[in-house]
Structure formats: C-alpha cells, structure tokens
Amino acid sequence: MSKITPEHLARQAVVYIRQSTADQVIDNKESQRRQYGLADRARQLGWSEVIVIDDDLGRSGGGTARPGFEKLLTGICEGRVGAVSIEASRLARNGRDWHTLLEFCGLVGTLIVDEDGVYDPRHPNDRLLLGMEGTMSEMELSIFRQRSLEALKKARRGELFLNVAIG
C-alpha cells in the first residue's frame, strides 16, 4: 500500500532548500545539488506541480527570520501542499522548527519525502522515525560544538598540531 494518494498528488510538492551561511552557498555545491535533486524525486513519485523554495539560502537557522520557511508553513496550513521534500538537517538544528513542521504536516495530511523514503506524520511509526531524524540533527550540532570547544582548549595549551597538506 502506497502512502501517496491521489489527494496528495492533487496538491503541490514543495522542496525546501536552505544552507546556513553565504560561504556554504558558494563552497558547498554538493549539498545544493542533493537538495535541488529532491524536486526530481518528487516528480518521480508522481507530483506534477513541484515548487522549490530556496529563499533561505545563506540564512542561519538560529534566530534569523526565514521567509522561505514561513512560506512553506503557510502553504501547508492552507492545504496546498501534498508533500514536503526536505533534508532534515537543512531545516535547522533545533527541534522546534522540525517538530512544528511535523505537527502541521500531520494536521493537514501532508507527507514528508526525502532521499530515503516517504513518511506520513499521522502514522506512529513514521512519526517516530521523523522525530529521531530531528533529534539526530540536533545531536550533530551539539557534537560539532563540543569538538570545536575542545580544539580551542587544545590550541590555547599549545597542543594543537596540524600537518601541512601533501602536494
């Protein structure tokens, strides 16, 4: 049984794309390629109307206004969106935004699509998996922060040694 119904396909699929900094937008083209590729995935799954929201490229997820995310939530709440195609880690590395998205999608019957699957936030098992994805994204940021702080301490003690690149 497919989670994608004719009702979902009658609405648009929205691909939400974000990168945190202008440097990431310039230097991390692979992430952009993967995120824009989610539009092709939505088309392969049967959506004819696929909208890409990339207004938040170069905007941090922490405390910064994100008009693209607001546009996404508005479309979901108005019932125009049958599926949101997104990389969980690109939304923001805090649970508030992720769980807000899941809650709104669950209320109006909007699916979540990524490279690995199609999830319905109204189904308990899918909701559990999506919740774990959000939690892992938060944990990833915590680990990055912890490693950075440890590296700073090591540098202050004069114990940080870096090798010169070969070539």
Q: Report pLDDT digits (tens) over 100-135.
A: 999 999 999 999 998 888 999 999 999 998 888 877
Average pLDDT over residues 4-18: 94
Q: Of 20, 85, 89, 137, which is the active-site residue?
A: 20
Q: Under DSSP, is residue 55 helix (H, G, I), strand (E, B) or coil?
A: strand
Structure confidence at residue 103 (pLDDT): 94
Q: Report pLDDT digits (tens) over 58-91.
A: 776 666 678 888 999 999 999 999 999 987 666 6
Highest mean pLDDT pick, 92-96, 110-114, 163-167: 110-114
**Domain range list for the chain:** 6-156
Is residue 148 flagged as an active site residue?
A: no
Residue 102 and residue 106: Cα distance in Å, rounded? 6
Q: Helix, strand, coil shares of the chain as percentages rounded to 5?
A: 55, 15, 30
Residue 17 and residue 88 in contact, taking contact as beta carbons nearer than 8 Å: no
CATH 3.40.50.1390 fits 6-156, yes or no: yes
